[in-house]
Every structure is written in C-alpha cells, then in structure tokens.
Structure 1
Amino acid sequence: GDRETAVITYTYGQAIGSVGTVLPIPFIDQAHPYLLASVSPSDQIPLARQGVELIFPITHNDQQITMLVLGQKKNGKYYSQADMELCETLVEQMRMAVQIGQLQREQEAYLQAAYATAEKAKRLSEQVATLDAQSVTEPAAAVKPLTIQVLGVLAIHRDTFRVPDAAWGSEKAKAMLAYLIWKGTQGATREELATAIWTERSLEESANTFHVTLHNLRNVLEVNRGRRSRYIVYKQNRYYFDLQPGDVLDCDRFEQLCKQGTAESLDKAIALYRGDYMADMVWALPAEVEVKRRHLERLYENALRRRAQEADDQQQAEMLWQKLLVLIPVDTEANTALIQSYLTRGYIPQAQRQVQRWQQALQEMGIMPTPQIEAVWRQVPQ
C-alpha cells in the first residue's frame, strides 16, 4: 500500500536533517530492528542519503506511530553496545511519553462526555425539585400516620411497620431528615444542608445529589404522594420539616410525658427512650445538638430515679436502677440502692459484682471513693 512518512520535529547535535525534513517510515525487520540494513532496499537509498545509521521504531497499541532516527556519531566511531542500550532506554521513555499523551487525550474526551452527562442530569434533577416544591391543587393521596423515632437509631414506622433501609436510597436522606427535625421552625437553606451532609464536596458538586436525595426523602415520608410534599416544605429559600396531625415524633412525645409527671406517663416516657437523641446521625449534625441531647438525657435520668424511688416492686426497682447505672455508672444512689436490694434478697454474689463494677467505674473516671461509699462496700460479705 501507500508508504507513510515522518517529519523531523526535533534535532540534536550533528543532525541527519533539518526540522521539517520528510523521511519514509520503513518496514522494519524485527530480527534486527535498529540497523539500516534491515530496511527494505527501496527505503535504504533515501535514508542513507540523509546519513541514517540507526532506526528505532516507537509503537503504541501494536502500531508504529513514529521513530527515533540516528545518524553517524560525531566522533565517527561505530555505535557500541552501551550506546545501543542507552538508545533503547531513550526509546522506552519516548514510548511512555507518547502513551501518556494518548491517555491524557482519552481522559479529556471522557471528562468532557461525563461533564455533558452531569449537566443533563443536573437539569433533570432541578426540574424534579421544582415540581416537588410547587403547590398544586390536586388532593394528596391518603397516607397513614407516621411514628418518627429519633431517640436512638433514626427510623420511621408507618402503622406498625418500619420503613426498610433500602427505601431511603442512602444514609444522606436520613441525615437530611435528622437535620431538618433538629432545626425545627428555623428551617435550613440548601447551602446549610449541603455543607452539613456533603462535607467532602463543594456546593456546586453536591447540587445534583442534593435534589435526588430530597426527592427520595419525600417519597419515604409520603408513599404515592402527588407533586406536593406535605412534610418537606420549601418557602422563602428554606426547607422545613412539617409534622402532620396524627403523626408522632418520639422526642416530642417523650418530653410531653415527662412534663405530665404521673407514674403512668413516666413509665411510658422511659419505654420511649431507646437511646441518645439522633444517636446514629452525629456525623451530620453540628456540636450544638449536644444541648438537646443532654436535655433529653437529663429528663430520662430524672424519670428513672423517681420511678425507682417510688416502685413498690423490688425487682422493678432493681431494673430501673440498673438502667440509670447504664447512663451514670458512678451514681451513688443507684449503686447503693441496688447493693442493698441484693443483700435484702440474699443475692450475695450479685452484690459483690455490683461493688466491683462500682469500684471499676470510679477508677476509670479518676474519682476517689468517699467514706460513705466505702461504708456501703463493707456491708457486703467477702
């Protein structure tokens, strides 16, 4: 077929030709790839006229794309084995440079295609978000009341059934709900939510994911909803979580029961407290949430203490004191009451173990026992 040619683009030393000189790319005999004698006779003459002595083909993906051509050495001597090895090293570096350049071009093409796809996805997600935020006159589909659990692990229950984790799409949707519940009537801007939840991305990078996550969250809260969301409301550039009539947010219910203060209401409050406020969402919430967490924890502590003090059943009292010690392992009243209850019932081994746990808790916290505490310990037979 037609012979391809190469153009000299760089010269060094005693060049075999000037920049721009056109040379044929010859057929190379792979048995002796560097010798002019390995070139076909038709190519030897024009190459010899240019003073070519060595030819090093440079390939990429099994195709010869250029070549390194060397003329006679400046001192007129033959090329030594060391010279050949040096040339081979140079050729390998050139081949790698060519390969890197090709990969960079392929990467650039890929990034351009990916950017175009991302821009299209962003436009689509913005359209979805706009539809979600718009108020329409169609009636919302009837939904069953929700119970939202934020004391302990965040979860949503519809009737008696818990919404499965797969329905959320990602933990980011849970984090978004947690943040909006915590903010309450203050609401949050998109920038505030994105900064809290997508800490590893810029606002621009998280824009598409934000709207997809918001869409998933709205679908979790309202199955078969219309275009309008009743729970996640957008107004004046802020998002709000709006609890609907009949729904229950366990932390609000917990505070109401503690405020009522009856034995029955305190028992219900204790049963509601499954763990720290937003226990699994600490990573998405600011440090200020600790104020809310400690407030609820103190209500729980007071409820446990009061019900344990008032309990007529000794076993029930022991259970309540044990729960309080999970919260405050060094609590003097709880430890003392539990040890004395065990002694009254003749449970000496249990009393001994409780003394050991109390001693260990004090030691871990660096607290020295008071004479009153040591007096309690001495009541337990050794």
Structure 2
Amino acid sequence: MTMEHNPHPREIEDAARFRAYLLGTPRLYADGDPVPPGRIARRRAWEILVWFLLNPGKPAMAEALADQLWPDDHPERVASSFHVSLHALRRALEPGLGRREESAFIRRHSNRIYSFDPAGQWWTDVSDLEQVHRAGHASERAGDMACAHFYYRRVAGYVAQGTLLDGEAGDWLTPYRRRYRQMCQQSLTRLMILEARQGSEHDLLESAYLTLKIDRYNQLATTVIVESNLRDGRAPAAAERLAKYCRALRADLGVAVPDEIAELALRVQAA
C-alpha cells in the first residue's frame, strides 16, 4: 500500500515556477531568478497582479476592480487605464505570448470579467501563511503538538518578514492586512501556549516579542516578558514594561487593567 505523500511547505515553494513574496518588501521570482522591478514597469500593472495574487480564482469586473484599486481616478479614464495596464502585465509575465494567444494565468470571461488562475505554477507567501495557519490549528485539534508547533513557527517567520507590502499605500490593502494580522495573532498565541507547556523559554520569549510587533496589547506576550525579567532579577525592566502596557490599555483602548495584570504588578513591586 502506497502512503500518501504530504509535501513539505518548502518543497511546494521550491517547485513553483513563479514565487511572489508579498509580506515585507515585495519580491518576485520567475524560474528561480529574481524578476527585476523594471520588468513590470507600470505601477498599475503591479497593483493588478497583487490583487490577483491575493484573490486567486476570484472573478472581478474590470470597472469594479479598477474603481477599487484607483478610487480617485476619473471614471472615463479608469476603464482604459485598466486594460492598458492588464496588457502590460500579460506581456511582463509571458513575454513570448502571441497577439491572440490566451494567457496561462489571466482568464478573460464574458462582460469584461477577469480572474487569475495560478495553474499550479504560482506560489505566494500569503497563500502559504493561510495554509500553515490552518494546518497548525488542525494539527493541534488532532493532538499532534509537534506538527502544530512546526506550522505555528512558520507563521512566526512570516511575522518577522513584515506586514503585507510594507511601505506601500492603498486603502484597498487594509482588509487584507487586517486579515493576515489576525491569523498571525491567533497562531502566535497558540505557539506561546505550546512553548510555555514545553518549557522552551528562549523560543517562548522570541514568540512573545514577535507577537508585540503586531499586537502591542497582547496580555500573554507582555506577561511572558515581565515574568522573564523577574526571573532574571531585572525588576526595573519588568516594572517599565508593565507600566507601559497598562498606560496603553487605558489611553488607547479605554479599558481597565485585567486582574491578572494587577496581581503581576504587585509581584513586580515586591521584587
């Protein structure tokens, strides 16, 4: 009986013809080589590609997509601008494509509706983030804590890369950034819980600091760092960290300090 092969995430990444890294500073690779920024010279062509990669298989009408990407553009110009940019994107991704040949990835449907089909040739870090996030939770539910730790740790690696398209503007990116941040928050919280049970103090501290990069109000991460300061005899550092956290809760969120944090503050004062 042949056992089913579940490929390692790196194996899937390595096998892809196109690889797009959208977390942190964006990078694009084709056939193992970096795609120079000038290859997709039109800014709007790049933005269309990003939308496609964030929404694989999702159909969108040209006018609606253009309005989402460039809401301040003149309505009479936006449609023509979209089609010019889409043509530039097709030529950049598939330079050998004939004039009337269909793109292997960009699907044209009726009524100016388009979608993007990765066709098994594209890999993106954001799609991998979604998959390892789900795999981590599924592994934990199945009781496979070693696998859960592995997948959550991969999520942590993506947190270290930075936010989605770091430094790029565009209100349309906000819901995607929020979604990926929530995934990372959930996975890192579970990772800290697993590492606390395992007694992996260095890994636990690493996860706590990463968590605070994306969620400065995270109670568990703050507690982990303060407890570590206390164990190391660094009561002033613990007090400063805790005071900063409590101020942020009151000033930014308008919420009271949780009882657990108040009890921890008493321990810090007594140290």
> Do 1:180 and 1:188's aligned partners in 2 also have CA atoms closer than 8 Å?
no
Per-residue deviation, 1:371: 3.8
What's the counterpart of residue 140 of structure 2? none
What's the counterpart of residue 302 of structure 1? 186
Q: Does 1:268 align with 2:154?
A: yes
Matching of residues 274-285 of structure 1 within 5 Å: 274-277=161-164, 283=170, 285=172
Per-residue deviation, 1:339: 0.5
Long gaps (5+) in structure 2: 1-15, 137-146
Measure, in 1, the Cα distance between the counterparts of 2:119 and 2:75: 31
What's the counterpart of residue 230 of structure 1? 104
- Determine helix, strand or coil for the equivalent of 2:60: coil
Amino acid aligned to 1:374: A
Runs of 4+ deviating beyond 6 Å: none
Cα gap change, 1:310 to 1:169, in 2 (>3 Å): same
Per-residue deviation, 1:353: 3.1
Q: Does 1:251 align with 2:126?
A: yes
Q: Give the TM-score, by structure 2 length.
A: 0.73
Q: Does 1:348 align with 2:222?
A: no
How many residues are paired up? Answer: 237
Per-residue deviation, 1:304: 1.0
Q: Does 1:370 align with 2:258?
A: yes
Per-residue deviation, 1:337: 1.6
Measure, in 2, the Cα distance between the counterparts of 1:347 and 1:224: 63
Matching of residues 296-335 of structure 1 within 5 Å: 296-311=180-195, 312-335=199-222
Structure number with higher relative contact order (C-alpha < 8 Å, ≥ 6 residues apart): 2
Cα gap change, 1:294 to 1:213, in 2 (>3 Å): same
What's the counterpart of residue 267 of structure 2? 379
Measure, in 1, the Cα distance between the counterparts of 2:119 and 2:194: 36
Long gaps (5+) in structure 1: 1-143
Amino acid aligned to 1:309: I
Measure, in 2, the Cα distance between the counterparts of 1:243 and 1:252: 11
> Do 2:21 and 2:124's aligned partners in 1 also have CA atoms closer than 8 Å?
yes
Larger radius of gyration: 1
Q: Does 1:337 align with 2:212?
A: no
- Determine helix, strand or coil for the equivalent of 1:380: helix
**Structure with greater helix share of residues:** 2
Amino acid aligned to 1:181: L
User: What is the root-mean-square deviation of aligned Cα atoms in Å?
Assistant: 2.9
> Do 1:154 and 1:174's aligned partners in 2 also have CA atoms closer than 8 Å?
no
> Do 1:175 and 1:284's aligned partners in 2 also have CA atoms closer than 8 Å?
no
For residues 105-143 of structure 1, the C-alpha deviation after alignment (integer angstroms, 9 at most, x for no partner) is: xxxxxxxxxxxxxxxxxxxxxxxxxxxxxxxxxxxxxxx
> Do 1:233 and 1:241's aligned partners in 2 also have CA atoms closer than 8 Å?
yes
Q: Give the TM-score, by structure 1 length.
A: 0.54
Cα gap change, 1:329 to 1:199, in 2 (>3 Å): closer
Cα gap change, 1:285 to 1:378, in 2 (>3 Å): same
Cα gap change, 1:186 to 1:158, in 2 (>3 Å): closer
Measure, in 1, the Cα distance between the counterparts of 2:95 and 2:232: 54
